Amino acid sequence: MPAPPLPSLAEHIARHGLAPRKALGQHFLLDAALCARIASLAAPLEGRHVLEVGPGPGGLTRALLESPAAEVVAVELDRRAIAGLAELGEHFSGRLRVIEGDALRIDAGALLPAPRRIVANLPYNVGTPLLIGWLRQAHLFESLTLMFQQEVAERIIAAPDTEHYGRLAVLSQFRCAARMALRLPPGAFSPPPKVWSAIVHLVPHAEAPDPALLAALEKVTAAAFGQRRKMLRSSLKSLGGAEALLEAAAIEGTRRAETLSVAEFTRLAELVLARAG
Ligand code: SAM
């Protein structure tokens, strides 16, 4: 017997008492066509295991379950949403696995088998730390299709010498090819946030770097962008031997962090690592 039709998202929210909570970054997508469009940005999903963080009332989750994905694993912190998500799982014959918990504390790679993709309308307050964590294990994922507030999305895809270029761009682009996939006005969400949102599609590079190199890059970019208006010979002093480091990397000490390419930052990180080992 076919499953009974799903209630509208508005009915689902009313029935499960999911009045949006600001502290949880809850801005819901209620337009099914828009959710389907977001799911399609992550294509192909055929046979893929998809991690969704923050399913909430499940608009995007429905779209992912309507795709040919093998399974959707949804991690949600808000206990109020769990029963409704379980109902959704029944409707889609067990292809939805719901985990109640904090995505920041979960090892995403261990949660689902390959081939893995991440698709999520992220809570704004934890979007950046979640991305940084996933970058450390990016080789485990085929792609990450992630909604952030637009300014964060700009910071992920930014090129050197532009307004938004900084640590997040270097770390993201060191591990992934990143592109802006879609910009959304506040009115696309309920309730509307104060700012525009945007979806970034990240495709990790095939080769996984030595985790120690990524750690060195995190250290170098923290020092360089921590004092971004200063010349590198001064901002990198905390690393020790800044002048020698810059000379070995063939980078002028009078340059500022925002002018360095990802390749130049990588060269500095390699030298820091070689020096330590
Ligand atoms: N995916 C839904 C949608 O698009 O309508 C909801 C997106 S809403 C922007 C963010 C969701 O993340 C909320 O459901 C919120 O409860 C959940 N959330 C917030 N912090 C979380 C965390 N640390 N771990 C897992 N989920 C979290």
pLDDT of residue 1 exceeding 70, the answer is: no
Sort 45 into a burial class: Cβ within 10 Å, 0-12 / 13-18 / 19+. buried
What pTM was estimated for this model as a whole?
Answer: 0.96
Q: What are phi and psi of 140, to 5 degrees?
A: -80, -10
- Say if residue 191 is in the same domain as residue 242: no
CA of 119 to the centre of ligand 1 (A): 12
Q: What are the pLDDT digits (tens) for 172-200? A: 999 999 999 999 999 999 999 999 999 99
Residue 106 forms part of a structural domain: yes
Give the residue numbers spanning the domain of 250. Answer: 211-276
**Pairwise pLDDT comparison (265 vs 93), residue with the higher score:** 265
User: 5: closest CA among 69, 88, 97?
Assistant: 88
- Say if residue 20 is in the same domain as residue 92: yes
Residue 2 forms part of a structural domain: no
Which of 77, 134, 147, 189 for mutating ligand 1's site (highest number of atoms within 8 Å of CB)?
77
Ligand 1: lining residues by beta carbon, under 6 Å: 24-29, 53-56, 59-60, 75-78, 102-104, 121, 123, 126
- Say if residue 169 is in the same domain as residue 84: yes
**Average confidence score pLDDT of the chain:** 96
Distance between start and end Cα atoms, the chain: 64
DSSP summary character for residue 116: E
- Say if residue 106 is in the same domain as residue 224: no
Residue 69 forms part of a structural domain: yes
